Amino acid sequence: MTRHVELVQALRRSGHRLTPQRESVLTVMAENAQHLTAEEILARVRARYPYLNKSAVYRALALLTELGLVNQTDLGRGRVEYELHRHPHHHHLICRRCQQMTQIDHALLATLGEKLARDFGFQADLDHFAIFGTCKKCQTRASKHSKRHSH
């Protein structure tokens, strides 16, 4: 069974209506492994189904997110990015200085999730985190820079 069919079934099982708008958003998401912005999704859907409004895209994505089929994340590029929910989970390290983005494995966050469950009974959504900071390269660049300036 294809990913697309699975997704359509999940939508119907949840009791929501399967509209062409929703299905076309789903299709685009299933065809693209990368992160997409709402505008990119709108443009790709319109290539095959031109009758689609901006609000419908946002509402479809909100629903798919609620159902756990899509992740939406602010990756620091000025607009939210959407990605089909994948297993196992992954996260991203993003350098504030050079914008370089690295994908990391969920294992690194798993113990955090367990601690929060154990200490607070809190079930954290650790599906797709964006962790900002400074990458290795930019740290050495910054320290050279400050050395040059300090004498």
Partner DNA sequence: GTCTCTAATGCAACGAGTCGCAATAAGGAA
Partner DNA sequence: TTCCTTATTGCGACTCGTTGCATTAGAGAC
Only segment of 13-21, 37-45, 46-54, 98-106 that touches Zn ion (CB under 5 A): 98-106
* 80 counts as binding its own copies under rule CB under 8 A: no
Cα atoms in the 13 Å half-sphere on the side-chain side of 142: 10
Question: 73: closest CA among 59, 58, 91, 51?
Answer: 91
C-beta of 53 vs 100, nearer to its own copies = 100
End-to-end alpha carbon distance in the chain: 66
* 101 counts as binding Zn ion under rule CB under 5 A: no
Only segment of 49-57, 96-104, 125-133, 141-149 that touches DNA (CB under 7 A): 49-57
Q: What is the dihedral of CA 35, 105, 132, 32, to 10 degrees?
A: 0
Question: 103: closest CA among 112, 95, 92, 117?
Answer: 92
- The mark string for 96-125 relative to its own copies (x by CB under 8 A, - otherwise) is x-----x-x---xx-xx--xx--xxxxxxx
| Binding footprint of DNA on the chain (CB under 7 A) | 12, 16-22, 37-39, 51-56, 58-60, 62, 78-80
